[in-house]
Structure 1
């Protein structure tokens, strides 16, 4: 088979590409079609661990010297390597929406920002140090054959591939080096939707300007405009959609009303404080929002739990009144720890813990809670920790990327409800953490409370029971953990995906979605 490709482009970042792509994946899957998502290049510190084709795993760290394409046969759908691979979280959720196994070809290139001017490059699921050092424009031609072959492999195995673009396709300074927008659309001869965020204002100018800056062969691929996040009476938009069609020949095929609480994590894990808790607030949870936060999407289920209010903490004042403080993952732990101290948040966290308030650190957040960060390989940086857990983290050259199952032992205090709960999640970290030897000898121990099957510790708790650190991502995505902590369950992902599909089915013009794949 050769899949029909539908592509979602946006006039800007944040226009709604990821949301709409996910909805389309579920809508087409519900028509009985075999569907896969694809995004050639994603830039995000929100990543998930997925399967990788066994042949491609030998190519994952980059092509052999002088070779510019994967070995023949890469991407076999029947053989999978046990080595973990990373893709962007958005494509992970899109695969689940499509009822497909999330795998590395769905997002073959992932850029994980570590600083404003540097990103870690993950190609076919594995870190590529050489590509990480290359200039962006030189990198694009090197990786394009890999991206194209990943897409071709998905097209050969599916009825529909729903492709997500990145940013805007009309970034004329980047057009010549494009590997994620119109170059992909032309390669796949995709039927494209161009979506804009009308809540920002200037939507029709964004749509027209994007269309006008594209070369004619690329304009010809755009089948419809989509107005997203509209608030008000859609009849008041007239005559603008018809005027835009008169100028471009392209109809506006959907006006999607604003929907605050659809339940899907945002592309970059950012939640909006305007979406308040459901019902009376019983628990306020503040997530420390340092500059290189990662894997924030795992906290989305907390937004869906009745009575829970989730807020950002960027200053000490933001921590006031919080029942829990969460230190999430970080792509640059030592740098985010320095930022945290510069804001005075270290003192706010220490004061919260001293009062007996609950503190949770996940991955990079766990590392910050310890006594020290030691970096012999120049991976992240050396730094003193916050000293709330008697642990030391050493950054290793090799990165741990794997799915993991573990079980909580006996916990005390604020986290006691998790005692005995089995947890399935994922690990993505360079750091290896253990007890501080001198503190252990003096009797100051952090209790290991989360163990994987082989007995390795993945979580620790302080003696008072209010500070907990975990390497395993996914605590709040586990129904048993949510029931233990809140006595309630968040909506399932399947119900979220079905809601998205119902939504676009109700708001797209009749016949448009079917016509895109005919």
Structure 2
């Protein structure tokens, strides 16, 4: 099990690397995270799971499935989250107070964990946040309770780049119940920059205090290629040579599935940028792309867009011939109106850049989809007749605006029921997530290829083998 001293310490990275490391030894490996809180989700057989466990399964060379992440919490507001149990939204659990949910879900979590253990040689478990959150220990179903249930051998990882790493490790260890301290088999210092010799004598002093060795010092892994689990990742320019295209993603408050844009970080000549104000977009030209991404609360994010003045900027960019892309919630925002008779998301007028209207349905569409673009025009013409694979996660159902269609204002439907383009050809909206994860799309749009996920996973495992004690890695899975 991989525990962390905080969110962002590197649990997901380390768990993914461990999955590939043990899979390369010929072991049957599965990932597991009892409860993930994220609006980054992927579609698997039976529903949706957190993106981190999806990629960990691929790293493990296993088929992703809902047991690998039995509980997914999808934040909809600062104090409210949608509760997804075994891949499907559970309205009853969603309505319960926070501390009552875990106990109700625990039998399902426990069954999923033991099912994976019974069918695999190794289960790599990821914790959440920190196991030493003493205000949450009594209702915890993702850290210590899982470690005890699985009798897991644990690594504790910390982000040394933030400073205070040894205090974080010692403080976390000290706040654990004594029996759980014994589960910690090694400390890992992640995101290290500098001369490793300068760490001495701290690892030795820490081991004298705790009895736990520091088994690895992992250097900072810039551009490792693994999609980020939490938050908006940095937009440090990565383009080799001159930047010919900027893809600016509007980072609204309830952004979802932001990890699908990660491959753009690896496309030569393309700069991926995150934007929260018109000033951050002022440098864009007509050849650049503004993306309205997915949203867990489309009407609320649309209201935020207007508060920032970004609605006017996006409309102006489109009027100047600039490229605009809406994905899922972004597609809905590009239309004329959001209609919500079910109390799912909210009613609102859209940006009016596509003659479409979206109605929110109580049932959620969750599925993987293979499709082929029809003929496109204008700046998106390169996508004409390109095959792609992606996934849908949405409540809204979008169709042509009846009155506008009757008056002759029709969008170009380039994927049946899934994607539309304006008459000028520069505004494109689609429901399918994963556009930039498909190598066929990247080749068509940018003439570029990026490292495959398999290559990314192997690089993670190589880094792990180079910087973690080999005997410690073997001991974690010894009989």
TM-score w.r.t. the length of structure 2 is 0.98
Q: 2:458 aligns with which of 473, 498, 508?
A: 498
Structure 1 unaligned blocks of 5 or more: 1-6, 53-84, 452-456
Runs of 4+ in 1 over 4 A off after TM superposition: none
2:471 aligned partner: 511
Residue by residue, what CA displacement relative to the aligned partner does 1:74-128 show, whole Å, maximum 9, x if unpaired?
xxxxxxxxxxx01000000000000000000000000000000110000000000
- Asked if structure 2 preserves the Cα contact closer than 8 Å seen for 1:261 and 1:275, the reply is no
Q: 1:10 aligns with which of 4, 19, 24?
A: 4
1:21 correspondence with 2:15: yes
SS in structure 1 opposite 2:130?
A: coil
Q: 1:146 aligns with which of 108, 111, 133?
A: 108
- The 1-side partners of 2:437 and 2:138 are apart by 41
Q: Please list, as runs of the form range in 1=range in 2, the aligned pairs for 1:59-70 lying within 5 A after superposition.
A: none
Q: Please list, as runs of the form range in 1=range in 2, the aligned pairs for 1:86-165 lying within 5 A after superposition.
A: 86-165=48-127
2:381 aligned partner: 416
- Asked if structure 2 preserves the Cα contact closer than 8 Å seen for 1:8 and 1:165, the reply is yes
2:396 aligned partner: 431
- The 2-side partners of 1:381 and 1:486 are apart by 37
- The 1-side partners of 2:442 and 2:411 are apart by 24
Q: 2:316 aligns with which of 324, 334, 351?
A: 351
* Residues paired across the two proteins, number: 475
- The 2-side partners of 1:128 and 1:206 are apart by 36
Q: 1:33 aligns with which of 9, 27, 37?
A: 27
- Asked if structure 2 preserves the Cα contact closer than 8 Å seen for 1:286 and 1:318, the reply is no
2:209 aligned partner: 247
TM-aligned CA deviation for residue 396 of structure 1: 0.4
TM-aligned CA deviation for residue 515 of structure 1: 1.1
Aligned-residue RMSD, C-alpha: 0.8
1:468 correspondence with 2:432: no
TM-aligned CA deviation for residue 436 of structure 1: 0.5
TM-aligned CA deviation for residue 278 of structure 1: 3.3
- Pick closer, same or farther for the CA change 1:493–1:515 going to 2, 3 Å: same
Residue by residue, what CA displacement relative to the aligned partner does 1:364-409 show, whole Å, maximum 9, x if unpaired?
0000000000000000000010110000000001000011111100
Residue by residue, what CA displacement relative to the aligned partner does 1:440-496 show, whole Å, maximum 9, x if unpaired?
111111110113xxxxx2000000000000001111111111100000111100000
- The 2-side partners of 1:318 and 1:117 are apart by 29
Residue by residue, what CA displacement relative to the aligned partner does 1:149-190 show, whole Å, maximum 9, x if unpaired?
000000000000000000000000000001000110010010
TM-aligned CA deviation for residue 429 of structure 1: 0.3
- The 2-side partners of 1:304 and 1:189 are apart by 40
Q: 1:397 aligns with which of 357, 362, 372?
A: 362
- Pick closer, same or farther for the CA change 1:269–1:101 going to 2, 3 Å: farther
- Asked if structure 2 preserves the Cα contact closer than 8 Å seen for 1:284 and 1:321, the reply is no
- The 2-side partners of 1:414 and 1:491 are apart by 26
1:173 correspondence with 2:135: yes
- The 2-side partners of 1:289 and 1:175 are apart by 33
TM-aligned CA deviation for residue 260 of structure 1: 1.0
TM-aligned CA deviation for residue 269 of structure 1: 5.8
- Asked if structure 1 preserves the Cα contact closer than 8 Å seen for 2:338 and 2:348, the reply is yes
- Pick closer, same or farther for the CA change 1:243–1:21 going to 2, 3 Å: same
- Pick closer, same or farther for the CA change 1:460–1:269 going to 2, 3 Å: farther
Q: Please list, as runs of the form range in 1=range in 2, the aligned pairs for 1:32-431 lying within 5 A after superposition.
A: 32-52=26-46, 85-268=47-230, 270-274=232-236, 276-322=238-284, 323-431=288-396
TM-score w.r.t. the length of structure 1 is 0.91
- The 2-side partners of 1:87 and 1:505 are apart by 28
TM-aligned CA deviation for residue 319 of structure 1: 1.3
SS in structure 1 opposite 2:6?
A: coil
- The 2-side partners of 1:494 and 1:418 are apart by 25
- Asked if structure 1 preserves the Cα contact closer than 8 Å seen for 2:336 and 2:401, the reply is yes
